[in-house]
């Protein structure tokens, strides 16, 4: 992470934001993840970004697609994840990745970040869709944490 005194949670927020854009690009192009990461490092202002977290999200979300999509599918109102808008698909997959593999990130943070990303990059009502699905996935993947917060 560049900048020294930056809040690490803020840097993760910026990492998610960059990762969503990079994952979106990956979904719509034939570029490799390494080329996309190199392009982001060279062409984007990444000073606020937790670069290790950005790289993890960019590489591990695609590496876990089968698991992530399996967790999502029961809650989709479509027959396939491919029918979901590409930006919403990237946000959902990133959110499920964090819910499933990043236990240090509270479920409320995952949902809030997904909603924020949808408001920033998605269509007018996509944040409601993201909120509903991530909430349902969290109830499945984070039962103990949700029960403890109740």
Please tell me the predicted confidence (pLDDT) of residue 5.
57
Please tell me the predicted confidence (pLDDT) of residue 147.
78
Residues 52 and 91 in one domain: no
Q: How many domains does the chain have?
A: 2
Residues 77 and 114 in one domain: yes
* DSSP symbols for 63-110: HTHHHHHHHHGGG-SSSSGGGS-HHHHHHHHHHHHHHHH-TTS-HHHH
Write down the pTM of the prediction: 0.92
Residues 102 and 112 in one domain: yes
CA torsion sign, 32 to 33 to 38 to 43?
Answer: positive
DSSP state of 5: S
**CB distance 57 to 16 below 8 Å:** yes
Residues 111 and 84 in one domain: yes
Residues 8 and 76 in one domain: no
Residues 87 and 124 in one domain: yes
Residues 6+ apart with CB under 8 A from 115: 127, 130, 131, 134
Residues 86 and 110 in one domain: yes
> Over the stretch 21-75, which tens digit does the pLDDT of each residue have?
999 999 999 899 999 999 999 999 999 999 999 999 999 999 999 999 999 999 9
Q: In terms of residue numbers, what domain contains 70? A: 64-150
CATH of the domain at 132: 1.10.940.10
Q: Is 3 left (phi over 0), alpha (psi -120 to 50) or beta?
A: left
């Amino acid at each position: 992470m560049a900048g020294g005194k930056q809040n690490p949670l803020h840097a993760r927020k910026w990492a998610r934001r960059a990762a969503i854009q990079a994952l979106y690009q990956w979904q719509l192009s034939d570029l490799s993840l390494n080329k996309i990461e190199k392009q982001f490092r060279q062409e984007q202002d990444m000073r606020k970004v937790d670069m290790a977290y950005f790289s993890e999200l960019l590489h591990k979300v695609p590496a876990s697609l089968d698991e992530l999509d399996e967790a999502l599918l029961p809650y989709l109102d479509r027959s396939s994840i491919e029918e979901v808008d590409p930006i919403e698909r990237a946000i959902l997959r990133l959110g499920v990745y964090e819910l499933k593999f990043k236990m240090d990130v509270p479920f409320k943070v995952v949902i809030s970040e997904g909603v924020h990303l949808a408001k920033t990059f998605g269509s007018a009502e996509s944040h409601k869709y993201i909120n509903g699905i991530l909430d349902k996935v969290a109830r499945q993947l984070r039962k103990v944490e949700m029960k403890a917060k109740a």
